[in-house]
Structure formats: C-alpha cells, structure tokens
Amino acid sequence: MPQIVIRHDREKPVLQQHPWIFSGAIQEVRGNPAPASIVDVVSTKGHFLARGYWNPKSQIQVRILTWQDEPINDDWWRRMILQSLQSRVSLFSENAAFRAVNAESDWLPGLVVDRYADFLVLQALTLGIDQRKHDIARILHEVLPDVKGIYERSDIDVRGKEGLKPETGLLWGEEPPEYIQIQENNCQFLIDVRRGHKTGFYLDQSINRAIAESYVAKLNNLFERPLRILNLFSYTGGFAISVLNRRIASITCVDASRDALELAERNAELNLLAENTPELEFIQADVFQLLRDYADQGEKFDFIVCDPPKFAHNAGQVDKAARGYKDLNLHCFKLLNPGGRLMTFSCSGAISADLFQKIVFGALADSGRQGQIEQYLSAAPDHPVALTFPEGAYLKGLVVRVI
Ligand code: SAH
C-alpha cells in the first residue's frame, strides 16, 4: 500500500479524526500512488494513522475513510452506507425526501446521496468518489431495493478543485420522471432533479420550513388581521408553501430565476387550499433592488424569510459577504410590522454563526428597531455535522422578533 507520511507537527488533526490532509501536512509520498487510489497515512516513525483516498491534484490530497487498519472494499462501503441510512430510518416513508449520505459528516468524504421518493440523486464531489461512483451506485441499489433509479448530479463547482468536470446523467435503473413529487412536512413539492439547484431541492432547510410554519401559526393567533408574508430568495417556493394557511392575506415569493418561480407556481397549485387561498405573488426580481422599492413604497410585512445564496465562497470573501448580509437584513427589518418576525439565514461556511449574529445585530442597530432572537436555526438532522468536522456546519439562521 502506498504511504503518505505526515509531518510530525501536523499529526494532531489526523489523530483527532479530521478527515482532510492538506498538501502542506505531507512530508513524503512513498510508493507512487495513482490518483484516487487508497493510501495509508503514517507518522514519521512509520506508525499507521489512517487510510484514505489520494488526489495529488487537489489541495486536500488525502480524504480519510478510516482510522482503523481495515480493508476498503465493497463490504466497507456497504457497511458505511448502511450506517448512514440507519440514522435516517425514521425518515423513510412514501414520497419522502431527505439526505441519505452527507459526505464527510457521515464519514464518506466527497459522497452526497439525496433521496427523492423512489429515486436517489448522487453527487460525487471528489476524484476518489468519482472513480468509484458506479460501484457505490450498485451498493446503493443493493441496500435499497425499492429504489427505481439513481441519477448523478455531479455538476457542482467544487469538483474543479479536484480536477474534475461536471457530469450528470443516469447511473443506474430507470430515468427519473421530469418532476418527482415528494412530501415534506405535509406539503407536496415537485422536484426537477435534472435542472434544479443542488440535487433538486434545498433539503437542508426542511426543518426550518416546518419551524416557519409554526411561527406563522403563532402570528395568526397573535395578530387579529390576516398576515402579509415575504419569501425572499424563494427558489421553488419551499418556505411560502410550507406556511400556507387560510389566515394569511398574501404571500410574495421573490427570486431572480424565472424557472424557479415557474416551479414555485406549480408547487403552490399542488398545495392550494380548498377555500380562501391567500393571494400568492411570484416576482422575478433582484432582492436587493426590490427591498429598496418596497421601502420607498412603504410596504410592510409580518413575516419575512430571507434565505440568500452563498455570498462567501472562501475566507477572502467574508468582508464583502458581510456587507451583503447586513444590507439585506437592514432592509428586511425596515419592512417588518411591530411584532413581526424575520427568519434570516446564511449558508456561507466561511461566515460563522457568531459572525452572522453580529452582522444581523449591526443591521438591526442601523434600522433603528429593537429586536430579540427567538430561535437559533441550523440545517435539518439529515444533514448531521461530524464533531471532528466543524466545516460541515455551513447553514445558520436566526428568528428575530422586532417591536
Ligand atoms: N429558500 C429556498 C432556497 C433559496 S436558494 C428554499 O427553501 O428552497 C437561493 C435562491 O436565491 C436561488 O433560487 C437563486 O435563484 C436566488 N437568487 C440569487 N441571487 C438573487 C438575487 N440577487 N435576487 C433574487 N434572487 C436571487
């Protein structure tokens, strides 16, 4: 087995089970490993530390698969995939959608598997996974015999850092339909696994869509009048549809993508109430501009969800991203009626929860409003974060009540 010798002063993270080994931590490469092959990670004294897959083209040259001296074969992949699936057992139900494998945080670095009803969508983020994806697909349909097809959505930018090009298409079984209908929190959604963002849907927000629904129910009880709701960066309407009820006056979805809004409209139709459906608006606009227009027009809302895309892709973009988040949140605060709630998110891994809270505080202060955090939010439990891998905690959010 080829060996990767770790510099003595860089051993600690490996011993503490961090799954990444950067080029700078490597003292010597022995045995000329082929890209994607399995390598042993050893100390300068030659002691076994871990085993993983190798990619000299990536800054993360080894992703660790195990800290035990055990073979990495079909049995190993099957065992690890089953271990991940077992933690999601409670999520298996007809038409359910959830993340079945969450990469590093499920000790399967580089591998994402999402389930949408009868289909799986696989994302290979690294060379090590890319080269094994057909074997992984075979194991997935062996352990999940009710799955009809496995579709690949490896068209995510980070693959570039591994020297990989985007790849999409059927990996195994039946082609998924144009839209897969799934159920989440008593709502129906159509998922376009071929053209949708990520693998089709923002599954990480499922728990927060349920929490949004509970806040709207609470506001329904607190306020006499029907509520006005604003869903910023709505994508296919996930939050708007989750909070739908008869005591809402209007829900406005705003997104830059026409395709996303068209699907949001179709999703809304699937969930329409038998009577007194609120007024639903789907606006294609730049949120930053629209918020200014709303402020000029004196628009007010009772519940605003602000779930922007990732603003900071690395540490160098944090300052600029922070200004973007502050601007957004400032304008949201200005549009809230007294007693209204802002549910605000950042999915930038480079912005910590602590920093995000500070940014939102700055926005609140500038808006001249008074506010309190009612709830701290994070990704749904099917997106676990391995304690040894804090990088996995990218999604953070706050529910802020303003008076
Ligand atoms: N809340 C959504 C996910 C939002 S993803 C859900 O629960 O499903 C972010 C969305 O922001 C994408 O749909 C993208 O099209 C949109 N977007 C990005 N920049 C934008 C901008 N400046 N104005 C409006 N929409 C934008």
Distance 395 CA to ligand 1 centre (A): 15
DSSP class of 174: S
Whether the CB of 258 sits within 6 Å of ligand 1: no
Q: Which backbone phi and psi does 149 adopt, to 5 degrees?
A: -160, 155
Residue having the nearest C-alpha atom to atom 22 of ligand 1: 286
Distance 308 CA to ligand 1 centre (A): 5
> Ligand 1 test: best mutation among 207, 255, 310, 346, most atoms within 8 Å of CB?
255
Ligand 1 atom at shortest distance from the alpha carbon of 202: 8
Ligand 1 atom at shortest distance from the alpha carbon of 286: 23
239-256 burial by CB neighbour count: b if 16+ within 10 A, else e?
A: bbbbbbeeebeebbbbbe
Name the nearest CA neighbour of 366 among 330, 320, 403.
330
Question: Which residue in the list 187, 306, 332, 347 is annotated as catalytic?
Answer: 347
* Cα angle 96, 99, 105; round to 5: 155
Whether the CB of 287 sits within 6 Å of ligand 1: yes
Ligand 1 atom at shortest distance from the alpha carbon of 290: 23
Instruction: Determine the pLDDT at residue 91.
Output: 85
DSSP class of 59: S
Contact 278, 301 (CB under 8 A): no
Q: Cβ contacts of residue 212 below 8 Å, gap of 6+?
A: 239, 242, 243, 303, 305, 343
* Backbone CA torsion sign across 281, 284, 286, 289: negative
pTM: 0.96
DSSP class of 328: H
Whether the CB of 256 sits within 6 Å of ligand 1: yes
Whether the CB of 257 sits within 6 Å of ligand 1: yes
DSSP class of 105: G
Whether the CB of 230 sits within 6 Å of ligand 1: no
Instruction: Determine the pLDDT at residue 272.
Output: 86
Structural element, H or E, at residue 3: strand 3-6
Name the nearest CA neighbour of 331 among 230, 235, 261.
230
Ligand 1 atom at shortest distance from the alpha carbon of 309: 9
- 3-state SS class at 33: coil
Which parts of the chain have pLDDT scores under 70? none
> Ligand 1 test: best mutation among 233, 236, 242, 383, most atoms within 8 Å of CB?
233
Tokens 């591994």: give the residue. 162
Structure token pair of residue 192: 């376009």
Whether the CB of 307 sits within 6 Å of ligand 1: yes
Residue 60 one-letter amino acid: I
Instruction: Determine the Cα–Cα distance for residues 296 and 298; give it in Å rounded to an integer.
Output: 5
Distance 141 CA to ligand 1 centre (A): 33
Whether the CB of 205 sits within 6 Å of ligand 1: yes
Distance 261 CA to ligand 1 centre (A): 10
pLDDT (tens digit per residue) in 172-219: 999 999 999 999 999 999 999 999 999 999 999 999 999 999 999 999
The residue count for the chain: 403
pLDDT (tens digit per residue) in 42-101: 999 999 999 999 999 999 999 999 999 999 999 999 999 999 999 998 888 989 999 999
Distance 328 CA to ligand 1 centre (A): 13
Ligand 1 atom at shortest distance from the alpha carbon of 235: 13
Instruction: Determine the Cα–Cα distance for residues 332 and 336; give it in Å rounded to an integer.
Output: 7
Q: Which domains are delineated in the chain? A: 3-66 (2.30.130.10), 74-186 (3.30.750.80), 203-402 (3.40.50.150)
Contact 182, 117 (CB under 8 A): yes
Ligand 1 atom at shortest distance from the alpha carbon of 307: 1
In the chain the first and final C-alpha atoms are separated, in Å, by 64
DSSP class of 228: E
Whether the CB of 202 sits within 6 Å of ligand 1: yes
Q: How far, in Å, are 205, 268, 360 from residue 281 at the CA level?
A: 22, 10, 27
User: Any catalytic annotation for residue 187?
Assistant: no
Structure token pair of residue 297: 């027009």
* Residue 309 CB burial class (10 angstroms; 0-12, 13-18, ≥19): exposed
Structural element, H or E, at residue 79: helix 74-86
Q: Cβ contacts of residue 60 below 8 Å, gap of 6+?
A: 20, 21, 22
Angle between helices 287-297 and 318-335 (to 10 degrees): 30
Beta strands in 95-226 (DSSP E): 97-102, 111-116, 119-124, 149-154, 167-173, 180-184, 187-191
Distance 309 CA to ligand 1 centre (A): 6
Instruction: Determine the Cα–Cα distance for residues 30 and 42; give it in Å rounded to an integer.
Output: 10
Instruction: Determine the pLDDT at residue 276.
Output: 73
Residue having the nearest C-alpha atom to atom 23 of ligand 1: 286
> Ligand 1 test: best mutation among 235, 243, 262, most atoms within 8 Å of CB?
235
Structural element, H or E, at residue 88: none
Q: Which residues pair with 281 in a beta bridge?
A: 252
Residue 129 one-letter amino acid: I
Q: Cβ contacts of residue 185 below 8 Å, gap of 6+?
A: 206, 209, 210, 213, 242
